[in-house]
Structure 1
């Protein structure tokens, strides 16, 4: 074995290791997005664009991505305790249907759009229903649903979110008020 053949073998190993590292790096750059997903891509922290669906390439260490689901999200608003305009203590819960229409704004304009939507829905539900009497809440539920949807939709336009429907599920009266009314 001569010195030339040993040097050649050393160079071959370096090339093989280098090619293997590049192949692993390129393989980790490949991402696949489903039809209902979009990726908001950031290059070195700056917005680089929205990509997807299908096969996309995101270079590790240089680019990051945030996946956004474009399907309709069903958000259950937890039970809210409120007092109606005629001073009746009420427990109300609702469900909200919304979807992302602009993935870029949903990621850049608000930190966690689902959590923000939940908080906004809770406060809007309390503020809108607190302005009405108990009779109005029970008789005009469709009108109240439409009013809440319009308020939520108007406030979430800046986030790239479209509220498609709001449904008040239950309006329960406090037991002490049931006895007092009876």
Structure 2
């Protein structure tokens, strides 16, 4: 009879006792409130709470991977793109994460979306495609500074995809092709310039010693003899041709000088054809 009377009381005490026991995993912390006021952060392990008087909110301290939805934005050079990213963050202060902000995950997600649009909208499309590391660091720094008051540490931000419409893709392909052609022409011109400089230097060195020119002449003849051609052209060095040209010019110069010496020079000695006949 006595057991029947006390059975409900024992059940209530048992339920009361079991509701007071909480077990937190290694990566969990419990923010305990006592009569609505913050009391302390407890865990991990076995936690005893006073039912009704104390309440606990579990907080996961592991790194959270948050996918930022695709954001429509216009770059500084007026190109419309869609960009999505992924944010890695974790709670470092469980008290701030629960008290300072409502639903810290949603708050961080909204902040990441607005920051992504704000930062990337200040850059051109080429920078979005080529300077991702710098942009990732800029977004991470801004998010980390603003979420510090919430007890959240943003570890990393990665831009996943930059989607561009087909028209812009074709324009970028044409621009890239033109850039490759420009670089090829510059490289070719630089090669021609370097080759010309080397040829001038070689000519100056060979011109300092006539024997070097003779050796080069013999080397050229050896190379020509090795080719299977029916016609062979023998180049003649200028130092051999110039004396011959000078000798050929000497009789012509002497004749011109003799004619100039026989010609009358005074104005009174000019004769006309009519006077000679008379």
State TM-score, norm by structure 2.
0.59
1:81 maps onto 2:83 in alignment: no
Q: Which runs of 5+ in 2 are unaligned?
A: 175-278
Match of 1:114 among 97, 105, 117: 105
Superposed displacement of residue 14, structure 1: 4.0
Alignment of 1:136-175 (within 5 A): 136-175=127-166
Over the aligned positions, Cα root-mean-square deviation in angstroms equals 1.5
Alignment of 1:17-166 (within 5 A): 17-166=8-157
For residues 31 and 162 of structure 1, what CA distance do their matches in structure 2 show?
A: 27
Tell me the equivalent position of 1:178: 169
The Cα offsets for residues 25-52 of structure 1, whole Å up to 9 and x where unpaired, read as 0111101000000011111111111110
Q: Tell which has more relative contact order, 1 or 2 (C-alpha 8 A, sep 6+).
A: 1
More strand by share: 1
For residues 169 and 43 of structure 1, what CA distance do their matches in structure 2 show?
A: 44
For residues 175 and 45 of structure 1, what CA distance do their matches in structure 2 show?
A: 57
For residues 50 and 158 of structure 2, what CA distance do their matches in structure 1 show?
A: 43
For residues 48 and 174 of structure 1, what CA distance do their matches in structure 2 show?
A: 55
Superposed displacement of residue 24, structure 1: 1.9
Aligned residues: 173
Q: Which moved more, 1:78-87 or 1:20-29?
A: 20-29
Larger Rg: 2
Q: Which runs of 5+ in 1 are unaligned?
A: 1-8
For residues 175 and 30 of structure 1, what CA distance do their matches in structure 2 show?
A: 60
